[in-house]
Structure 1
Amino acid sequence: MTTRPAPADTEARGGSPLPLWLLSLFLLAFSFGTDDLIIAGVLPDISRDLDVSVAMSGQLVTVFALTFALGAPVAAFLTARLPRRQVLIGAAAVFVLANVLAALSPSYGLLLVARILSGLAAATASPAAFAVAATAAPEGRQGRFLAIVGAGLTTSLVAGVPAGTWLGGHLGWRATMLYVAAVALVAGLGLSLTLPRLPGGEKAGLKDRLASLRRPATAAALLAMIPSGAGGMMSYVYITEIVGRIGGIRGSAVAPLITVVGLAGIVGAFAGGRLVDTVGAARALMVFLCGVLAAPVLMVVLGVSGGPYPIAVVALVLVLYGLATWGIAPATQAWLLDRGESPGAANELIALNNSAMFLGFSLAGGIGGLVLETSGPLAVPAAAAGCVLVSLVLFWAAFTSDRRRRVRG
């Protein structure tokens, strides 16, 4: 890891206000999270305006997620030697232009290209943002700084997507794309004015940069992120079916519960960062993963044992789910960052972590949809729990292998 620069140490020590560059990273992550899911809120408008089916419009979400998942490791390697400030500001600029292009697109094909460009820009900037937050954090606050950047993604579910959907409903979907571009523009300007200069990684080939992957512990942890992402997101994707089954809650009554999950997720992200700084990344990760496992198990137990239950009971289960699911991110990132043998390698590990997580998100919809069709709503949290259990086993193996290596060392 690089030496932490003086500006962040000075501004963030001992309860001082958070550095402005960290708040800019939060805002940039907020714009990425909003752009990822905002299409879902304006699908009918896009379908009518561009004369394509709603299903075709929905692929604009898929292409962004897949571009992010596949592009993050490649972008991390290609930009590893560049100064972090240059990478972040450049990626933010491309992201702004891509969303402006989306707003001006006269056809579905050009809009698809714009989504690919915005996904590539987000894939380039996200790992660098997390690496900068950890590298420039004061001693003992790495987890909390990581959590603040991660909270930008979570907050987008609660504030960014609803605000963009509302704007699209009044001014059209193109205004929604300009809204995302404007948020990213503010974040990019903030970074250009306040981000300290941090060097890129040393000159090294792909083999050297991915040397950490030869360690069984690191490889197992990255592999664990796939079932973790699938199991964590599956209940969210099909939340309407789950709450309908255990609480008889349907239609517009589901919206407040989705907000509850988002708010709990924001709290969970900050709690996860604080727990990392208190007990260490490995222990914090296992605590939150146990919560991610407990939430869908509780959903199944409630559904099997009776119901419908009062909305307060359903909300409490969803609070547990939101807290745990969004609380694990700072722990996984902090643990992987400590295993990077150079700044560039750490950046690439975060990129691989994000890719594995997004691949898990992609699997969540497919696996969840399959079990929903074949076995009903309660099969969704049951399948989610199974995925999380696999993830727990893999993480436990990773931590055990890492401890043995350190003892031998």
Structure 2
Amino acid sequence: MPNWELVRQDFTELQQTMNGERLAYLDNAATSLKPTSVIDRLVSFYQRENANVHRGTYQLSFKATAEYENARKIVQHFINAKASREIIFTRGTTESINLIAATYGEQNVKPGDEIVISLAEHHSNLIPWQQLAIRKKAILKYINLTPNGEINLADAKQKITAKTKIVAVTHVGNVLGNVSPIRELAELAHQNEAIIVVDGAQAVCHVPVDVQKLAVDFYAFSGHKMLGPTGIGVLYGNQQLLEQMPPYQFGGEMIADVQLDNSKWDQIPHKFEAGTPNIVGAVGLATAIKYLEHVGMTQIRTRDTELMAYLVPKLMAIPGVKVYGSQNPQQHVGVVSFNIGTLHPHDVATALDMEGVAVRAGHHCAEPLVHSLGTNSTVRASLAFYNNQADCDQLINAIKETKEFFKGELR
């Protein structure tokens, strides 16, 4: 097992103070911190390797192209895709899902067809399907959740029918941290000749991902939530489906031949990567994946479990604190959402910040889910493997201080 205190030293952002207190960074679901190796790689690329890819006939361009395409192979192996051509670089999870809706969705969804998503979805995996359904006069259906916030498989079996064309679900929820039964949902979708799209943004930094074992058709995630830079994301797609889909954007890089009255598209994945790509972003993402693999995804999953087993019972033991979702810490993968009495979550987050604790407050881009919990917003603490028990204790103590400060307003 890694020495977690040594691991923390790779994240220099943790060495600073906020409001005179040690920083307890607990907003990893919004974006992760970056290890020194990733930051150094971004700098070194710009200092010594910067050139455009796929175009130049000079050595520097050859090297940049090799680094960019090697990054694609590193992503392929990280999620166990069959081929590197099934990996498309995007700006992030949001663009990846919009790409599918704008291509496969426009091509295959007809009036009266059904699109099935869950109530647990981030807006990035809700609004593209909502708007597609409106445009195509299709029907958007929601899989209900269990009282613990998990996807209700019995309800899924009722909602996914022969009319279903697309099933879109999150792998790990960004509000409650539940892990969805992706393999079972994929089987349900395929039994009804539908495809399954998975939002993996919250999963890839916490659990091992194998797209072949999961039997998914599309899997989307973002680099910045897994130690990589912002502005780089991935869409994994089944090769056969990708080849049938039209391009998402048009311009340079994605063409094989251009005439005055028509054009021919390049092969996948380049067909979906119009314009100069985020080269350094892909290189940085590859470095982040190497770091995750060096630490070990199985070890990271164990670390998450240990931290939640420590934090969640302490949260639940504080009078007036309501923890949403399961009472079982193992069902909170990196994320726990809570409220303190009737205090507004934004006031709580501000008070916690004064104690050096960085958390997120609001509806977390998941309004339907948060409303189903009987509230308009929550406080969300989200952990990564570089957090420790001291961070958890700092949160607990800050909550107690906040309760004391607002005791006249608590009901």
Q: TM-score range by the shorter chain?
A: under 0.3
Question: Per residue, is there more helix in 1 or in 2?
Answer: 1
Relative to the length of structure 2, the TM-score reads 0.24
Question: Per residue, is there more strand in 1 or in 2?
Answer: 2
Larger radius of gyration: 2
Relative to the length of structure 1, the TM-score reads 0.25
Q: Which has the higher contact order (CA 8 A, sep 6+)?
A: 1
